[in-house]
């Protein structure tokens, strides 16, 4: 096996690395950032087992607020950048992804024409003239250039011995019609307050510490390889989480059956005040696949308003006109997300194992009237567990996954008036179960450079399922949504090759395939517009064929670049 975490030469660096290995330490949801390599004169492979996937050392560095110090307060080496004479580098970097791919779709109802929505303003959707009133189409194919993550500028590090920061502006997410500049992440962290690592505080647009980082996933073709992270009940998941919106231009044609106030997506950063605490014991240096020796205990709790400093990353566009078209206003409430983990024998990324518990609770309120959101009048919640193991230690084989149950009350739901008609209310809530598992295997590659990671390769397998346990019901509707509406099954295979790694640049090549089955959403993908003709009326008369299943096969190959 090719270990991409081998240590560089040099007396000072060797001393640091030996200390790290002895303690076997255990990172914000940023991409691989060459600025840290420059600042510490370490190769990217020191923190990454396969860029951008973190090793145990990388997790240590992240959790410590971008420090190599084991005390929670930066040491002299961490603060080199405070002395301009010690280095000539300002901590800044750049990341971009370029790819080409295609997608085959089957089961989508075929309209005789389509509309596009370049600015994503739902108030401007015009009615679509339908073809065959919901009859599933034969398989279709589309392909083209694709940028999963167009570009971002990255900057992060330490402002003092107890203040960390991260800034990431740029163009993020798949681009369909035109680029949109945004702030992906911007936060400041106060480290080891009152002298204890049990009290660290983030403020700003920050990750909520999901079970496993979506932004560090090795797959690039989907919004996230984990359906749990972006599933929105009522909306076709095949648009939310496949290449469909970019390749086939269906994203602008889709309106959901209903809106759910629980729009929290773990793949996104959110405006939050986040508490983070940790402590570690002596069981971090096992270099074994299994251990019962405790390593690190960590707890993260985020308080999030349901609106954001830079817009709501989970919400639909909102304006007075959009609300009239059926897009809900912002939720006026708050949500809490908590994640507790315990690792043994390592940090669970490349050695030992890690187990975790996570939960979300939030206030539900949505409004279809222009001008703002409604007052909270209910509570939604999710609970789940996560696990990471390493059958082949030191990064040879890492298997991890998570499972959750979500429950959203009727007060959290608003029927889409374009589908059900005006005045249709939810009379019962919903619940669903979701899980995912991923296996990352890194074989031994002859000629791979251990010190930098160059020439190493990783094979990735993923599986996902979302199962609606209880569909919502609506008043005055003759036919309710079928029990399997918006159920999802997904499998994926990917390969990622670290072409070049150093202390200035990381370049990786990737190729991937994803298969997805999204049940009961066939006509939703063809019948966008202010008037869903033939689909639903105030009397709830659904057309035949409206709930056909849709399957997707997508392939993608490209290059990921950071410097």
In the chain, domain spans: 46-111+129-315+331-562
Quote the CA–CA distance of 258 and 241 in Å, as a whole number: 18
Question: Of 459, 456, 486, 454, whose CA–CA distance to 470 is shortest?
Answer: 486
For residue 402, name the pLDDT band (cuts at 50, 70, 90): very high
pLDDT of residue 357: 98
CA dihedral for 442, 65, 354, 274, sign (positive or negative): negative
CA dihedral for 154, 508, 451, 57, sign (positive or negative): positive
Residue 386 has pLDDT above 80, yes or no: yes
Point out the least confidently predicted range of 77-86, 130-139, 240-249, 358-367.
Answer: 130-139
Quote the CA–CA distance of 275 and 391 in Å, as a whole number: 32
| Second CATH level (architecture) for the domain 46-111+129-315+331-562 | Beta Barrel (2.40)
Quote the CA–CA distance of 308 and 376 in Å, as a whole number: 17
pLDDT of residue 275: 97
pLDDT of residue 537: 35
For residue 488, name the pLDDT band (cuts at 50, 70, 90): very high
Quote the CA–CA distance of 8 and 13 in Å, as a whole number: 7
Quote the CA–CA distance of 25 and 56 in Å, as a whole number: 6
Quote the CA–CA distance of 316 and 204 in Å, as a whole number: 21
Comparison of pLDDT for 132 and 106, the residue scoring more? 106
Percent of the chain with pLDDT over 70: 65
For residue 429, name the pLDDT band (cuts at 50, 70, 90): very high
pLDDT of residue 255: 63
Residue 512 has pLDDT above 60, yes or no: yes
* Residue with the two structure tokens 């001393």: 15
Comparison of pLDDT for 152 and 65, the residue scoring more? 152
Percent of the chain with pLDDT over 90: 26
Distance of CA 195 to CAs 99, 191, 540, Å?
47, 9, 62
Question: Of 263, 214, 266, whose CA–CA distance to 235 is shortest?
Answer: 263
Name the E strands within 199-287: 200-206, 258-260, 270-280
Burial of 227 (0-12, 13-18, 19+ CB in 10 A): buried
pLDDT of residue 123: 38
For residue 184, name the pLDDT band (cuts at 50, 70, 90): confident
Question: Of 549, 226, 198, whose CA–CA distance to 403 is shortest?
Answer: 226
Condensed to tens digits (0 to 9), the pLDDT of residues 208-217 reads 999 998 888 8
What's the mean per-residue pLDDT of the chain?
A: 74
Comparison of pLDDT for 88 and 276, the residue scoring more? 276
For residue 387, name the pLDDT band (cuts at 50, 70, 90): very high
- DSSP 8-state assignment for residue 111: -
Burial of 527 (0-12, 13-18, 19+ CB in 10 A): buried
Mean pLDDT computed over 330-336: 76
Please report the DSSP string for 114-125 in residue order.
Answer: ----TT--GGGP
Mean pLDDT computed over 295-323: 65
Residue 548 has pLDDT above 80, yes or no: no
For residue 437, name the pLDDT band (cuts at 50, 70, 90): very high
pLDDT of residue 96: 86
Contact status, residue 293 vs residue 342, Cβ threshold 8 Å: no
User: How many Cβ atoms are within 10 Å of 441's Cβ, its own excluded?
Assistant: 17
SS3 of 15-58: the string is: HHHHHHHHHCCCCCCCCCCHHHHHHHCCCHHHCEEECCEECHHH
Q: What angle do CA 106, 111, 116 make, to 5 degrees?
A: 100
Q: Which two tokens stand for residue 483?
A: 């029990």
pLDDT of residue 549: 85
Condensed to tens digits (0 to 9), the pLDDT of residues 521-542 reads 876 665 443 333 333 333 333 4
For residue 130, name the pLDDT band (cuts at 50, 70, 90): very low
For residue 132, name the pLDDT band (cuts at 50, 70, 90): very low
Mean pLDDT computed over 319-329: 40
pLDDT of residue 76: 54
Condensed to tens digits (0 to 9), the pLDDT of residues 83-115 reads 544 545 567 888 888 888 888 878 765 543 333
Question: Of 375, 94, 397, whose CA–CA distance to 261 is shortest?
Answer: 375
Contact status, residue 456 vs residue 2, Cβ threshold 8 Å: yes
Contact status, residue 377 vs residue 411, Cβ threshold 8 Å: yes
User: How many Cβ atoms are within 10 Å of 237's Cβ, its own excluded?
Assistant: 26
Question: Of 244, 462, 478, 210, whose CA–CA distance to 360 is shortest?
Answer: 210
For residue 34, name the pLDDT band (cuts at 50, 70, 90): low
Strongest mean pLDDT among 23-32, 50-59, 277-286, 436-445: 436-445
pLDDT of residue 391: 94
Residue 228 has pLDDT above 90, yes or no: yes
How are beta strands 397-408 and 379-392 bridged, if at all?
antiparallel
Residue 147 has pLDDT above 70, yes or no: yes
For residue 222, name the pLDDT band (cuts at 50, 70, 90): low
- DSSP 8-state assignment for residue 348: S
Residue 117 has pLDDT above 50, yes or no: no
Helix (H) or strand (E) holding 63: helix 56-63
User: How many Cβ atoms are within 10 Å of 145's Cβ, its own excluded?
Assistant: 11
Please report the DSSP string for 173-211 in residue order.
Answer: S--SSS---EEEEEEEEE-SGGG-TT-EEEEEEE----S
CB under 8 Å to 492, separation ≥6 — which residues? 219, 222, 225, 460, 461, 462, 463, 512, 513, 514, 515
Helix (H) or strand (E) holding 13: helix 11-23
CB under 8 Å to 509, separation ≥6 — which residues? 496, 497, 499, 557, 558, 559, 560
Residue 52 has pLDDT above 80, yes or no: yes
Quote the CA–CA distance of 166 and 186 in Å, as a whole number: 6
Comparison of pLDDT for 400 and 21, the residue scoring more? 400
């Amino acid at each position: 096996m090719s270990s991409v975490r081998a240590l560089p030469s040099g007396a000072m660096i060797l001393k640091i690395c030996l200390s790290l290995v002895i303690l076997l330490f255990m990172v914000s949801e940023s991409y691989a950032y060459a600025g840290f390599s420059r600042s510490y004169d370490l190769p990217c492979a020191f923190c990454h087992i396969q860029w951008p996937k973190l090793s145990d050392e990388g997790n240590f560095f992240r959790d410590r607020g971008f420090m190599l110090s084991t005390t929670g307060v930066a040491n002299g080496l961490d603060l080199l950048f405070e002395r301009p004479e010690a280095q000539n580098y300002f901590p800044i970097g750049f990341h971009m992804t370029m790819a080409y791919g295609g997608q085959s779709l089957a089961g989508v109802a075929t309209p005789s024409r389509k509309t596009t929505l370049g600015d994503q303003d739902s108030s401007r959707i015009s009615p679509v003239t339908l073809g065959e009133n919901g009859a599933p189409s034969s398989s279709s194919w589309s392909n083209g250039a694709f940028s999963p993550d167009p570009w971002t500028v990255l900057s992060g590090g330490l402002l003092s011995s107890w203040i960390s920061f991260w800034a990431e502006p740029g163009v993020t997410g798949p681009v369909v019609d035109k680029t949109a500049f945004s702030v992906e992440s911007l936060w400041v962290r106060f480290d080891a307050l009152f002298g204890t690592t049990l009290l660290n505080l983030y403020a700003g647009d920050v990750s909520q510490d999901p079970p496993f980082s979506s932004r560090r996933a090795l797959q690039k073709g989907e919004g996230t390889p984990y359906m749990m992270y972006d599933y929105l009940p009522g909306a076709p998941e095949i648009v939310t989480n496949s290449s469909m919106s970019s390749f086939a231009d269906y994203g602008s044609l889709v309106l959901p059956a209903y809106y759910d106030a629980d729009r929290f997506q773990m793949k996104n950063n959110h405006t939050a005040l986040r508490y983070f605490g940790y402590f570690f014991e002596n069981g971090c240096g096992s270099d074994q696949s299994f251990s019962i020796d405790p390593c690190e205990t960590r707890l993260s709790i985020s308080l999030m308003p349901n609106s954001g400093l830079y817009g709501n990353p989970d919400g639909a566009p909102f304006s007075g006109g959009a609300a009239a078209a059926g897009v809900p206003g912002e939720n006026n409430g708050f949500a809490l997300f908590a994640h507790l983990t315990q690792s043994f024998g390592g940090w669970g990324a490349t050695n030992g194992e890690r187990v975790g518990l996570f939960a979300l609770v939030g206030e539900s309120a949505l409004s279809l009237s222009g001008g703002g959101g409604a007052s909270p009048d209910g509570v939604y919640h999710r609970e789940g567990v996560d696990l990471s193991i390493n059958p082949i230690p030191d990064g040879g084989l890492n298997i991890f996954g998570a499972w959750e149950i979500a429950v959203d009350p009727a007060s959290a739901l608003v029927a889409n008036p374009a589908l059900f008609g005006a005045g249709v209310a939810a009379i019962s809530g919903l619940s669903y179960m979701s899980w995912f598992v991923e296996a990352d295997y890194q074989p031994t590659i002859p000629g791979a450079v251990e010190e930098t990671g160059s020439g190493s390769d990783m094979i990735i397998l993923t599986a996902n399922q979302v199962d609606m346990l209880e569909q919502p019901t609506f008043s005055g509707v003759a036919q309710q949504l079928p029990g399997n509406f918006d159920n999802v099954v997904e499998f994926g295979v990917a390969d990622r090759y670290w072409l070049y790694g150093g202390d200035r640049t990381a370049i990786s090549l990737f190729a991937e395939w994803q298969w997805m089955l999204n049940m009961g959403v066939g006509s939703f993908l063809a019948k966008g517009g202010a008037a869903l003709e033939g689909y639903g009326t105030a009397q709830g008369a659904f057309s035949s064929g409206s709930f056909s299943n849709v399957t997707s096969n997508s392939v993608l190959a490209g290059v990921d670049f950071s410097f």
